[in-house]
Every structure is written in C-alpha cells, then in structure tokens.
Amino acid sequence: MLQAATAQLHVQVEATPPMAALMSPAVDHDTCIEVLQRLLRIHAGWEEANAARLRALPWPWRPRAPGLRDDLVALGARPGPRFVPAPVAACDAEAWGMLYVIEGSALGGRLIARHLRAYLPEVAAAVRHFETSEDGPGWPAFRQALERALPDAGSRDRAATAAQAMFEHFHGQLAPSLAVAGDAGTVHA
C-alpha cells in the first residue's frame, strides 16, 4: 500500500537535478558535497523533531544526520547548521510511514554507493552515508515490522499520508537545481 501511495513522489525525488547529477558518469566532488548537505538538512530537522517517537518504535532506528556530518567533514566541507521544517509524526502509524521512506532510501543508497565507487572512487572511499543499507536488519525485516505495526486500514492510511509528506520533504530540498540552491544559502566548503 505504501509503495503504491508514494510511487509517483518517489520518481519525482529521483528525477531532481541534484540526484540526476549524482548519478551521472560526470559526477564530481562538489556535486557529492551539495547532495550530502541537502540530505543533512532533510534528516537533521526531521530527526530532531521525531527522535523520541522513533526511538519508542519496535525498530532499531538509526539517525542519519551524524553520519552525514562526518561524511561532509571527510570531504573537506562544512556541514552547515541550517535545518528546515520537517514533517512531525503525530502518532506511531505516521512515524512508520515516514520511516518507510528513510529505510527505503537506504536501498537507493546502495546503488549510489556502487555508482560512486565506479566514477568517483576517492569520494566513495570517504562517504559512508550511502552504505547504511549494509547496517542493521535490512529491508525485508523492516517490511515485516511495518506490516505488524499497521494492522488496520486506518493506520495504513495514516502511514501512507505521512510517507507522502516525507517524500515531499525530500523533494522540497532536492528539487531546486544545484546553482539555484547554492545561491539560496547552501553552505559550501
């Protein structure tokens, strides 16, 4: 149900200029920094706003913002303090819906990591964020936990709405082109 409810939004996020640049054979160091900075803005505010609820779920949630900061430092960039407003889960079903997007993004991270190893190996060696799918119980275990956590249509509907809001949060930070976003206050090294 969540996959169907978010499919179009997922495609839109993957098609944003920064993500297209990241997956291009011409990917460069600055593009990686830009994407990591945007991801940090996405995760940091969301994690801060939802950490208590996420830690209470029966799932080993791992914050991504600390690792993104470490990756930016490893690439010689300043992480930047800028947070953006983020969706806040009003109930556990909404938290599960948002977590669906976060945990699912780890699968895409594996593809990005493989791409960076092929086209920008020195950056791939320094960046750990895209390798996070290798840690933890994995996607099949998450899907099983999600099914147990959303036993009825009402909880699944709340989760789907929250997952859509999370994809919109990603899209809002990734949609502007790299040049426009850089002019709008993105912190560069």
Could you read off the pLDDT of 11-57 as tens digits, one per residue? Answer: 999 999 999 999 999 999 999 999 999 999 999 999 999 999 999 99
The structure tokens listed for 100 are 């669906």
pLDDT band at 184 (very low <50, low <70, confident <90, very high): very low
- Any idea what DSSP says for residue 23? T
Residue 189, pLDDT > 70, answer no
Residue 180, pLDDT > 60, answer no
Q: Model pTM?
A: 0.89
Could you read off the pLDDT of 44-67 as tens digits, one per residue? Answer: 999 999 999 999 999 999 999 999
Q: Give just the sign of the alpha carbon dihedral 61, 150, 95, 69.
A: positive
Q: Say which amino acid occupies 17.
A: P
Could you read off the pLDDT of 120-172 as tens digits, one per residue? Answer: 999 999 999 998 755 678 889 999 999 999 999 999 999 999 999 999 999 99
> What is the Cα–Cα distance from 113 to 72, expressed in whole angstroms?
15
What percent of the chain is predicted at pLDDT more than 90?
A: 80
> What is the Cα–Cα distance from 120 to 70, expressed in whole angstroms?
18
More confident call, 37 vs 82:
37
